[in-house]
Amino acid sequence: MRILSDFAKALSQMMDRRFLRVLFLGLGLTIGLLAGATWLLAWVVGGLVPTDSTLFGISLDFANGLASGAAIVLMLGASVFLMVPVASAFTGFFLDDVAEAVESRHYPHLPPVDPVHWGDAMKDSINFLGVIVFVNVIALILYFMVGPFAPIMFWIVNGFLLGREYFQLVAMRRVGREGAKVARRRHMPKIWLAGTLMAAPLSIPIVNLFVPILGAATFTHLYHRLETPGAQSLARAQDL
């Protein structure tokens, strides 16, 4: 499968300093956001409980701290599920850098592209986060109906979403948003299959944090293989 070749090329570049920069930026922003949200929730919940609360005449001075502590525990538990989608959204702001790093190494003969506007990158990342959260909430309900087939359903659903997002990201750098949509429709079966390959590591803690970067790199190779075969041929010749 040539998709596995695209994946292998992306994997071989994972230690590229530009890849690591994007990874650490995404993780840093995610941890900062979740820590800030945890503090804010604890402060709000603690503020809602009066410090002079009583129960049957017994002072409940500890109630304020208890409520804040419960909010922190709740947020920490939610962070386990929120870490990956939030990190994916933040990392999405910088995935253009990953595609550029792949092209500069494997396709240096290609003409430069205009960088994706920061506002467009933010809009695409927020839209993707909303779609992936919504679809996974619906899928979570269905998981209870399909029993042991739940992991397969998880991969299929997220494979479609990841494939759609990453191919669009890479293609629009070269042919614009509308051109990317046309190319995506033309190659959707292959894009979905490659996205499913990306979705499998989402089930593995820690490894799943690398998925956005690995996905952007893999789909950069996939795009050029499908849409610019001349670039692929020249790249292979340069690698020999």
Delimit the domains of the chain by residue range: 2-15+83-239
pLDDT tens-place string over residues 42-56: 666 666 555 555 544
| DSSP notation for 37-104 | HHHHHHHHHHHHS-TT-EETTEE-TTHHHHHHHHHHHHHHHHHHHHHHHHHHHHHHTTHHHHHHHHHH
* Helix count and strand count (H, E) for the chain: 9, 2
Residue pair 96/114 in contact (Cβ under 8 Å)? The answer is no
List of E strands, 85-177: none
Please state, in angstroms and rounded to a whole number, the distance separating the CA atoms of residues 207 and 230.
33
Does the structure show a pLDDT above 70 at 116?
A: no
Q: Which residue has the higher pLDDT, 39 or 213?
A: 213
3-class secondary-structure state, position 155: helix
What is the reported pTM? 0.71
The crossing angle, in degrees rounded to 10, of helices 17-48 and 63-92 is 150
pLDDT of residue 121 exceeding 60: yes
CA 191 → CA 33, 102, 154, 188, distances in Å?
32, 18, 16, 5
pLDDT digits (tens, 9 = 90+) for 194-212: 988 888 777 676 777 788 8
Q: Name residue, tokens 């650490």.
A: 24
Neighbours of 91 (CB within 10 A): 26
Distance CA 167, CA 66 (A): 47
> In which element (H, E) is residue 226 found?
helix 211-227
HSE-up of residue 141 (Cα within 13 Å, Cβ side) = 5
Q: Which of 68, 91, 76 is nearest to 20 (CA)?
A: 91
10 Å Cβ neighbour count for 125? Answer: 21
N-to-C CA span, the chain: 20
State yes or no: pLDDT of 57 exceeds 50: no
* Mean pLDDT value of segment 151-177: 83
User: Mean pLDDT lowest for which of 84-93, 162-171, 194-203?
Assistant: 84-93
- Using CA atoms, how far apart are residues 159 and 150, in angstroms rounded to an integer? 14
Report residue 86's pLDDT band, with 50, 70 and 90 as the boundaries.
low
